[in-house]
């Protein structure tokens, strides 16, 4: 589960200042408060107000932030057992309490789990339709390579027959016979 992230700039521009990237947040996930240090080091304290302690907690509330340092404060959220939203404030303090920042926070109940039937794990795919060459191969009871050779043989015979008819004569007929014999031998070798 991804965290919901809040970025807070500490001492950006002047000492003891806090600036957040948002003013309010509604979530059911764990929260990561990203403290980004700027010009001066600072002590920062984080706490939860309102009823948030019923569904959220901060394990370590005190942090020392160096300039140009980034510190992540994890806020654990347990929204699985909530029936109604819980509201409160996430308060961030610096300068020994002289500067504070409040972010309105609402923790909502987790969405209901969706049960997935195991039958959905296997895709329901129908077998692909056979290609024309595969259908011809099935008709003859041999593989696709045999069907390919058969198609090429028929094409060679058609070209030889047209050539023999166009040219005419004994030599053209002998050429047609040689092509026909080659096709027959090739098919015999594939079948056996």
Q: What is the pLDDT of residues 125-163, one digit of tens each?
A: 778 887 876 776 666 666 667 667 778 888 888 988 888
Strand pairing report for 18-20 and 4-10: antiparallel
- Residue 64 parent element (H or E): strand 62-65
15-30 average pLDDT score: 89
Q: Where are the domains of the chain?
A: 4-107, 132-191
Q: What average pLDDT is seen over the chain?
A: 84
DSSP run (H or E) holding 70 = strand 70-77
Quote the CA–CA distance of 19 and 92 in Å, as a whole number: 10
59-116 pLDDT, tens digit per residue, is 899 999 999 999 999 999 888 888 889 999 999 999 888 888 999 999 988 877 777 7
Measure Cα distances from 19 to 70, 102, 128 in Å: 14, 10, 60
SS (H, E, C) 140-171: HCCCHHHHHHHHHHHHHHHHHHHHHHHHCCHH
The CATH superfamily label for domain 4-107 reads Immunoglobulins (2.60.40.10)
Say what angle helices 132-140 and 144-167 make with each other, to 10 degrees.
100
């Amino acid at each position: 589960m991804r965290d919901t992230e809040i970025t807070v700039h500490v001492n950006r521009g002047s000492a003891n200042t806090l600036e957040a990237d948002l003013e309010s947040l509604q979530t059911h996930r764990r929260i990561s408060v990203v403290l980004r240090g700027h010009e001066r080091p600072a002590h920062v304290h984080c706490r939860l107000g309102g009823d948030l302690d019923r569904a959220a907690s901060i394990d370590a509330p005190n942090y020392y932030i160096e300039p140009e340092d980034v510190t992540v404060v994890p806020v654990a959220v347990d929204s699985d057992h909530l029936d109604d939203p819980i509201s409160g404030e996430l308060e961030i303090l610096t300068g020994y309490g002289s500067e504070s920042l409040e972010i309105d926070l609402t923790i909502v109940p987790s969405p209901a789990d969706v049960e997935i039937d195991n039958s959905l794990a296997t895709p329901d795919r129908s077998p692909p339709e056979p290609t024309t060459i595969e259908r011809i191969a099935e008709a003859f009871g041999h593989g696709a390579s045999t069907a390919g050779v058969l198609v090429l043989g028929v094409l060679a015979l058609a070209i030889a027959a047209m050539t023999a008819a166009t040219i005419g004569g004994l030599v053209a007929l002998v050429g047609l016979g040689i092509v026909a014999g080659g096709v027959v031998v090739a098919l015999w070798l594939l079948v056996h």
